[in-house]
Amino acid sequence: MALLRRLFVFPDGTPALLRGAVGGLTVLVSGLWPFALLPAGTSTVVIVVAAVLSVLVLFAVATALLRRRYPDAPR
């Protein structure tokens, strides 16, 4: 549980506007890239799985970057 919290929960001290911007951008990018980059005729299941996996990866990366920016936040 601690690993999931560390990966996907924004650190304390992150401004609300930044949290919203990162969350919105992550969802937007992960929702649109499968339609733009996967070939036409790709099954819906593959598109949904790609979008869900990219949400997880992008949130983990964003959280890691925010933890570097706000190092005083409790872990």
DSSP 22-46: HHHHHHHHHHHHHHHHSPTT--HHH
Distance in angstroms (rounded) separating the CA atoms of residues 2 and 68: 18
Residue from 57, 37, 56, 62 nearest 47 by CA: 37
Q: Mean pLDDT of residues grouped by 10 in the chain (75 residues)?
A: 70 83 88 86 91 89 84 66
pLDDT number for residue 49: 92
pLDDT number for residue 23: 86
CB 7, CB 60: distance < 8 Å:
yes
pLDDT number for residue 45: 93
CB 57, CB 13: distance < 8 Å:
no
pLDDT number for residue 75: 58
pLDDT number for residue 69: 82
Q: What is the pTM assigned to this prediction? A: 0.73
